[in-house]
Amino acid sequence: MASSMLFESTSGSPETDRHLQLVQSVDWSATSIGAIDDWPPELLLLFHLIILDPQPRLLLLGPDHTLLYNEAYAELVGERHPAALGRPIREAFPETYSMTLSIVDEVVSTGRASVEKGFCMPLMRDGRLLEIHMSWIVVPFPKKSSLTGFSVILRDETEKRVSDRRLQTSHQLSMALTMASDISSLWETILGSLRDRDHDCPFALLYAPEPDANGNDELFFQIRGSVGDFENNPVAANVLNLSGTSNDRLNQKLGAALTSEEPILLESEDGSLPKSWSNAASTRGWKDACTEAVVIPLQSNRYHKVRALLVLGVATRSKYDVAYKSWVEEMRRTIGNSIHSLRKKEMAAVELAQREKKANNIRLQYNHLVKVMELSDVGIFSCDKSGNLLQANESWYRLSSFSRQAEPVPAFAWLESVYDDDKALVMSNWNSMLQGKPVTYQMRWKHPERPEGRWILAVCLPVMDDQGKIISISGCTTDIDAQKRVENDALQALQALERASASEQRFQHFSKSSPVAVHILEIPSRAISFCNIAWFDMLGIEEVPFDQLDMSWTDGILEQDLPLLRESVQKILTTHEPQTTQFRFRKMFLSGDGHRYQSWGSSQSHAELDENGAVKAIMTTTTDISHLKWAEEVQRSRVEEALEAKRQNEVFIDMTSHEVYESLIEMKSILDKLQYSDEKAGNRLGELVASSAEAVNIITSCSSHQKRIVDDLLTLSKLDSNLLQINQAPVRATSILDDMRRVFEIEAGRAEIELRIQADPSIKAMNVDNVMLDTGRVHQILINLITNALKFTKDKPQRRVTITMGSSEKRPSDGILSSIDFALPHTLSDTVRESEAVASGPETFFIWFTVSDSGRGIKPDEKTKLFSRFQQASPRTYSKYGGSGLGLFISRELAELQGGEIGIASELDVGSTFAFFVKTQPAAPPIDQRLKNDIAIRPRSGSAQTSFSNEIVQIHVLVAEDNPTNQKVLKRQLTNKGYIVWTADNGQEAVDFLRQTRYWNAPSSSSPLPSSPSTAQEKALHVILMDTEMPIMDGLTAARRIRQMQRDGLLKGHVPILSVSANARPEQTSMAMDAGMDDSISKPFRIADLTPKIDRLADMAYAG
């Protein structure tokens, strides 16, 4: 039964096989869908499809929606598997039953699939209720199906949905932190941002240091705020003493987070998470109590002290997994950056205050220092309130580059010497002094030699009279240009040093934890100055400090591959270019198949250059590629095995076909002999001969049927291997109809079937003569269709079969054959649609054929099966008429490969019309036809006498055949037809025989070949029948030898050779033509098919 085959077979996957066993173990007979053996084929097919699907798939079967699902869905439902298998959904998932029922009712009412995206539903996994985000498609079974139920396709989107939500929380926190003005406001900003994210923050507490009586603020932490329901659930502690003296579990873990500066997990199970904190989450998010929380130490960076402890409740329906930890670490970095920024701001404010204090001191001492400053390099100046320069010392003029003027100058004329970008600053401070405020600021004077200007420190104050009125503005300017440049250089150097230090720290942290091996080789000492843990692991050596490493580390590399690494180092030293090297380690690698193989590594090496451009170190990263090398070897081995299996299969088919063909040859030869004898005997033997003729006809029919089956098997083998070729050659179109008349005329006559073969008027209208076609493939389609027509017509009162050939410029399926139901072209197939060898171009048109019969016809629903592999119209077809079910499938493939289609029009009890068409284009006449145009038309084929111009000549044939029976029978048949027959047992004898014929061109006495016979002894020869499979020298080798002798001048003219072989594959026929054969015929054959080929080649021999 189909069900037993399904469950007894193996899928190739141990997990899938175990799931199949679970399905089989369920008592399905107690469900609404019944026992497995009673399952309809549609259900078995659906189950087969979902069990192989890697995506979660579910079938809801029967009126109670019984569950049947695949392995991927089992992973989705978690701990409810396998109990849910075979149970109604209301029992397996009561919490989602009402929702499922509403969806099912909607699908039933609309008749269309239901699509739901991003739906959140709670599911128990590992004893815990988790939020699961799903998307699904619910598809109802067809109403006309014997099944009732629904197919459900699901996709778990939890990871993406939760990740997107956490990203939004991080982004909102990052935006809120930019609003904090100092460290104190930062804590409330953090808690305020988390209050809006109730799913990601069930509750939160933030503790910051609080100085004790001794001023120590590192071990005492005061609560700064909270998120959650702490009104009904009091906070366990407002002040934390983290000195390490408490035995409280919570206090110990908070102290551990402070000491390790790493996040620490609090859990209800171990008592470290207070119940009041856990219950604080019951009003937020999923309204569940929180069972876990993470203590996050907040600091500006890893080298600064902890500024706060943030206790963040873990989302109640999420696991504290790797993704959660990464998100917590990201929030920690974001807050740390804000702390760092605010700390820098506070330090800058302190520094600014100190500078202001210093400036005030300078202003107080200004009046006392004026006279002293006159003698110094400090510029002193005085202006009235309107900006007119009253006086200035020489240093001021030198610094400002303002020209000393004898005449009065306009107010603020000195402002033109101020650097353009600083003029606004100068005027702003001037206005401040007019309000009685002293100012200190930095500004730039323009400088003729430095576009960036000269920096000065200006200390200015208003001078007042006794009444306190401002009478002037005085000040001093100090040259700080050099200090400014040094300060800028120092700042840039410090920033560069900080960046380098941070980069070095990141690199060391990354390289130590990286699975990629990293090491640095110093040049010229070639000592290892740095390497990570992965480097020691790959080499399989013990980890030691860098300074203890010697050259013994090379022992971890296979000795045969050490020269490769040395060569790589030398190339880097020479070219300074990166090098990639693959090499083997000494340690072994355990592969997926349980075997041990040599480990492989792939290294990328880069040179580090000094200031002189010389290599001072080589940095190398090495990746373990053992799995890739093993996979490459496995893939190569499997490809070789597949190719060998394919080759053996083809050899087996060829050998089997050859043996079948050989037996058919002997059978058909004897049959032809009997038939010929029967024709000779005439009326002399009476009824005895008539009964023998009937037996002969039966055997002939059986052997022909066997040959067609073998031909179908050979063609099917090529189609399955994508190796079937279309070989178009010039042919006279109407000759195809002549061939069909010759092949089926006698068979139709015996069955008393009227056989009509005709050309459509379109052939004449389009002047169709010689065209490009693969005649053999067109013949194969026609023989299949005509054979079927005769078979299904012979038992009918009215027996008629009509074959029609026509042409069309557009696709016949859209025109003259539009009444035919053509098979849809394949969308998925192992074969290539429309071979590249098919004619193409502007002259392309179509040749079409119809085969009409007056047989039984077929029902409309039977048409869909006709052109499928191993399919017949109905089971009764085989029982009554036989057949393999391959003929029409192969005909369809051959038609499509030639750019065409095949189809049928039929009426039950009236008859059927099969039609097909192929693509073609005009062609020049074939060579044999051009030769025949130059000579007189001979009598009918098979007369053994042909007309060469105006004389009648008897045809001489050489039969090269190693099978004595076939040779003897064929000689007798040809002799009875009037041919003169010579024989040869192998290809070498056939070549030697040519020395006795008129073709032999006598060589000079120096030739190593034997001398030719005299003219009187020359034998006439017109055609060689050459078997391809012979001992000593096969037919292909003999043909090549004969053609080479023609090129060397040892033979006169062209020797016609007809290939005779049981190998009927198209590529084998092509091999025969490439070897020098002029034509070919496949065993077994009829004398009626052979003699026209002999006569045509004999005409060619005479014309040559």
pLDDT tens digits, one per residue of 999-1023: 998 664 444 443 333 344 688 899 9
Helices and strands in the chain, H and E counts: 30, 36
Per-residue pLDDT for 298 more than 80?
yes
Strand order in the sheet with 528-531: 528-531, 517-522, 615-624, 596-609, 579-590
Section 638-654 average pLDDT: 71
Q: Which residue has the tokens 């329906």?
A: 317
Contacts of 367 (CB under 8 A, 6+ apart): none
Average pLDDT over residues 623-643: 84
Say what the pLDDT of residue 649 is.
Answer: 65
Domain boundary, last residue among 156, 175, 204: 156
Residues 756 and 656 in one domain: no
Determine the average pLDDT of the residues in 191-211. 88
Q: What CATH number is attached to the domain comprising 469?
A: 3.30.450.20
- Give the pLDDT mean for 428-447: 92
Which of 265-269, 517-521, 779-783, 802-806 shows the highest mean pLDDT?
802-806
Residue 733: which H helix or E strand, with range?
A: none
Above 50 in pLDDT, residue 14? Answer: yes
Integer Cα distance of 651 and 645 in angstroms:
10
- Helix, strand, or coil here: 919? strand
The 10 Å Cβ neighbour count of residue 210 is 16
Give the tens place of pLDDT for each residue, 338-355: 888 888 888 888 888 888
Same domain, 369 and 337: no
**975 in a structural domain:** yes
Confidence of residue 870 (pLDDT cuts 50, 70, 90): low
Q: Which pLDDT score, from 0 to 100, does residue 431 have?
A: 93
SS3 296: strand
Residue 366's pLDDT is: 57
For residue 629, how far is the Cα from the chain centroid? 20
**What is the residue type of 537?**
D
- Given this model, what pLDDT does residue 581 score? 92
* pLDDT at site 882: 46
Residue 698 banded pLDDT, cuts 50, 70, 90:
low
Domain end: 102, 122, 156, which one? Answer: 156
CA gap 823, 904 in Å, rounded: 8
Residue 426 CA from chain centroid, whole number: 68
User: Cβ atoms within 10 A of the Cβ of 853, count?
Assistant: 27
- Report the CATH number at residue 992: 3.40.50.2300
Task: Summarize the confidence of residues 131-156 as an average pLDDT.
Answer: 84
Report yes or no on 779 lying in a domain.
yes
What pLDDT score does 842 carry? 81
Q: Identify which of 827, 876, 817 has the alpha carbon closest to the alpha carbon of residue 852.
A: 817
Q: Give the pLDDT score at 1009.
A: 40
Q: Is the pLDDT of residue 746 over 90?
A: no
Query: Which SS3 state, helix, strand or coil, does residue 461 take?
Result: strand
Instruction: Examine the domain organization and report whether 735 and 671 are in the same domain.
Output: no
Question: Rounded to whole angstroms, how far apart are CA atoms 426 and 446?
Answer: 13
Query: Looking at the domain assignment, is residue 635 inside a domain?
Result: no
Mean pLDDT calculated for residue range 183-202: 89
Q: Above 70 in pLDDT, residue 435? A: yes
pLDDT at 520 over 80: yes
What local confidence, expressed as pLDDT, does residue 957 receive?
A: 95
pLDDT at 920: 94
| Within-domain flag for 634 | no
Question: Is the residue at 570 inside a domain?
Answer: yes
Residue 342: predicted pLDDT: 87
Residue 668, φ and ψ in degrees, nearest 5: -70, -30
Residues 735 and 715 occupy one common structural domain: no
Task: Work out the percent of the chain whose per-residue pLDDT is above 70.
Answer: 82
Sign of CA dihedral 589, 595, 596, 601: negative
Choose the weakest-confidence range: 270-274, 629-633, 1008-1012: 1008-1012
User: Are 876 and 890 in the same domain?
Assistant: yes
Clarify whether residues 102 and 194 are in a common domain. no
- Quick one: 151 and 187 in the same domain? no
Domains in the chain: how many in total? Answer: 7
- Residue 500 inside a domain? The answer is no
CATH of the domain at 824: 3.30.565.10
Mean pLDDT across the chain: 81
Query: Going by C-beta distance under 8 Å and a sequence separation of 6 or more, which residues neighbour residue 326?
Result: none
Q: What is the percent of the chain where pLDDT is above 90?
A: 24
Q: Domain of 753?
A: 727-920
Name the CA radius of gyration of the chain, rounded: 50
875 and 741 in a single domain? The answer is yes
Residue 137 and residue 225 in one domain: no
End-to-end distance of the chain based on CA atoms, in angstroms? 67
- Among left, alpha and beta (phi > 0; psi -120 to 50; other), residue 164 is alpha
Residue 493 lies in a domain: no
* 877 domain residue, yes or no: yes
Q: Do 616 and 659 fall within a single domain?
A: no
Q: pLDDT band for 677, please (50, 70, 90 cuts).
A: low
* DSSP single-letter state for residue 318: S
916-923: average pLDDT:
93
Please tell me the predicted confidence (pLDDT) of residue 931: 45
Poorest-confidence range of 416-425, 752-761, 919-928?
Answer: 919-928
The set of residues, in sequence order, having a beta carbon less than 8 Å from that of 304 and lying 6+ positions away, is: 340
Q: At which of 893, 920, 947 does a domain end?
A: 920
Q: In one letter, which amino acid is 724?
A: L
Instruction: Clarify whether residues 569 and 552 are in a common domain.
Output: yes
Say whether both 1089 and 941 belong to one domain.
yes
For residue 1003, the SS3 value is: coil
